[in-house]
Structure 1
Amino acid sequence: MTSGYTYRGAGVDIEAGDALVEAIKPAAKATMRAGVMGGLGGFGALFDLKAAGYNDPLLVSSTDGVGTKLKIAIAANKHDTVGQDLVAMCVNDLVVQGAEPLFFLDYFASSRLQVTAAAAVIEGIAKACKESGCALIGGETAEMPGLYADGDYDLAGFVVGAVERDKLLTGADVAPGDLLIGLASSGVHSNGFSLVRRICDGEGISYAMPSPVEEGKSLAETLLTPTKLYVKGPLAAHRAGLVKAFAHITGSGIIGNLPRVLPEGTAAELDAARWELPPVFDWLQKAGRLTASEMANTFNCGLGMIAVVARDKAEACLRVLHEAGETVSIVGRITERKGEAQTTIVGPAGAWGQEQMWVVS
């Protein structure tokens, strides 16, 4: 008689899932903060806003993933950095509204759970949560054989934060004459990787080759540099009353993201000579023969976040951000909008590989 079917035989290993929960409990416990009620293992997670110190809070939430950057992590068998990417893509979106990240939940899906790789990912999530001041209070690990290729996995993150009602950042008071402060990125972050991978595949470039921009590292290690966490410095500047708006530079680059915080009738003008284009972007531009416009509409190009500040508060804002460890510079200004373009980047000869003065709108 043929034996009956089993869940394990169908490709789902419940014991592996239980082992992963036990493996990550210490990392999750290290992220606990005021407001957390209970711990891992319940059907739902609880958080007490009053215990976290809020009087009249607005809840702010965000969800995101890491995108096809995961394909490089999987190809390189390096899983310890993408957890920070996941957290950063979520918490940075809260900060731009003046909100403090409070708690985080993750979703890890694969065809077959590989505990070592999954634990490395989630430990990276926990480390980034701790650095961001938010608690990792729950999540889901799903095995779905037949939906994902063997060895592949996907990530999603969910963060909830809060801001006092009268401290919400909207950008409504942004006006011509305000200055733009750029916060340096750590690299490509987590956007544009479908183009990065297309360049590497099309040009026969191996991720295992030596990094063209960092000695002693592989190209994969350079590309997997995790997304910067913009929490402590930006929140400190906001709480000091120094910022009118923040823009998180993610998918669609500087050109697509800065207009999201600009009121009607205003525009932004940036000067590419005022910040450094990191070597990894210079390499990508040359390897892929990318135009300046393609770069600015796809990548952060060295600016992971941009603050809009009143001219008379710019120096104080620069100081607060610098003291928090950010690399910052004044990169442009707000003007009256006179045409269709709401964000313009101008550059001198030689900027971003161009031989003449150029403008990207």
Structure 2
Amino acid sequence: MKSYSESYKEAGVDITAGYKAVNLMKEHVARTMTQGVLSGIGGFGGLFQLDLGEIRHPVLVSGTDGVGTKLKLAFLLDKHDTVGIDCVAMCVNDVICCGAKPLFFLDYVAVGKNVPERVAAIVSGVAEGCVQSGSALIGGETAEMPGFYPPDEYDLAGFSVGVVDKEKIIDHSAVRPGDAILALPSSGVHSNGFSLVRKVFDVEHSDLTLYSDELGATLGETLLTPTRIYVKPMLALMEQVEVKSISHITGGGFYENIPRSLPEGCTAHIDRTTLKTPPIFDLIRRKGNIPERDMFNTFNMGVGMSVVVAPDKADEAVRILRAQGVDAYIMGQIVPGEGGVEV
């Protein structure tokens, strides 16, 4: 008997819309399939067979996050096929900081009203993020929650699981004064600080489609640019150079994130003149009259990830990353200190 409930539909939950959404997203999910996937979409659990290869002491590493209030931009612009990349990026970029290779991803989409085409667009972005990070999208959940979310709004979250050999976990213990700090450029604001961004630009009452010469795009396009995923370039780097620590620059900016990748007795000294900061950050600073320290304590300021390597390996590391399409550069060094960041 075909599943259908008129009573549930009258309460605001359309089961058949859920089935349609699943069918529409199948082609996107198929793009992410990797060798370890054992299950197809629609089961009660996602199955993944772990191929340990040469890993002697496997350690699973997990990361979870959402997209945050950046979703408000997607609602306003009615563009839903990129925020899924943000969701994946926020998780896999954390996992790679431990030296782990992401294996699979699961998403959670909570909607006020299940519009199958919109849900499929969201999942298409998740699938793209999975492809960029080499992860398999092995499952997820779409929850229709009328009365909890407005009909045109939703929330999006997910989690990633990766694996690393215990002997190769990156834990910052090898960091020493004199080590070089590399910057991996961001694609823009990424997915943090959007409560402040929305306030500065009053996005609900602004025309986000107006072209800006300063930005080289519309404000909406610039702000909705998805978070860059660093997994594949970092995996390539770790195969050739000893990486001592990695920091994913997210909410809290430089001052909160970089210290998490440093041991006691070490401070990160950043040469501000080297930073390649996109115009959107200066526009935010001017428009919102925001102190420079607050900018560095809220946004990535053009650096999506920082990497610490030995000074004699810095140039080689930069070459490897640039060969992977990441325009990395040296932005500072580790100095003796009581922790923290000097910018």
Q: With structure 2 as the length reference, what TM-score do the two structures score?
A: 0.95
Describe the SS at the equivalent of 1:37.
Answer: coil
Whole-Å separation in 1 of the counterparts to 2:44 and 2:83: 26
How do 1:121-270 residues align onto structure 2 when only pairs under 5 Å count?
121-201=122-202, 205-211=206-212, 213-215=214-216, 217-270=217-270
Instruction: Indicate the SS of the match to 2:173.
Output: coil
Match of 1:342 in 2: 340
Residue 109 of structure 1 is matched in structure 2 by: 110
Higher share in helix: 2
**Cross-structure match for 1:37:** 38
Identity %: 49
Structural RMSD (CA): 1.7
Query: Following the alignment from structure 1 to structure 2, what is the Cα–Cα distance between the partners of residues 203 and 125?
Result: 25
Q: Which amino acid aligns with 1:61?
A: S
Aligned to 1:320: 320
Residues 203, 32 of structure 1: alpha-carbon distance in 2 compared, 3 angstrom cutoff: closer
Task: Measure, in 2, the Cα distance between the counterparts of 1:159 and 1:337.
Answer: 34
Q: Tell me the amino acid that sits aligned with residue 146 of structure 1.
A: G
Identify the residue that residue 280 of structure 1 maps to in structure 2: 280
Over residues 155-182 of structure 1, what are the superposed CA-to-partner deviations in whole Å (9 max), with x where a residue is unaligned?
A: 0011100011111110111111101000
Query: Unmatched 5+ residue regions in structure 1?
Result: 346-361
Q: Match for residue 295 of structure 1?
A: 295
Q: 1:241 to 1:15 in 2, by over 3 A?
A: same
- Pairs within 5 Å for 1:11-22: 11-22=12-23
Give 1:37 shift.
1.0
Change (3 A) 1:155 1:53: farther
Letter in 1 for 2:308: V
Secondary structure of the equivalent of 1:154?
strand
Deviation at 1:41, TM superposition (A): 1.4
Output one character per residue of 1:169-199: Cα deviation in whole Å (capped at 9) or x when no partner: 1011111110100000000000000000011
Aligned AA for 2:179?
A: D
- SS at 1:213 equivalent: coil
Looking at structure 2, the residues matched to 131 and 203 of structure 1 have their Cα atoms a distance apart, in angstroms, of 31
3-state SS in 1 of match to 2:79? coil
Q: Is the 8 A contact 1:69 1:224 kept in 2?
A: yes
Q: Quick check: 194-203 or 290-299, which moved more?
A: 194-203
Per-residue deviation, 1:119: 0.9
Aligned pair in 2 of structure 1 residues 124, 52: CA closer, same or farther (>3 Å)? farther
Determine if the alignment matches structure 1 residue 57 to structure 2 residue 58.
Answer: yes
Determine if contact 2:248/2:305 at 8 Å carries over to the other structure: yes
Write the letter of the residue equivalent to 2:138: I
Return closer, same or farther for 1:143/1:53 CA change in 2, 3 Å cut-off: farther
State how many pairs are aligned: 339
1:54 Cα deviation from its structure 2 partner:
4.1
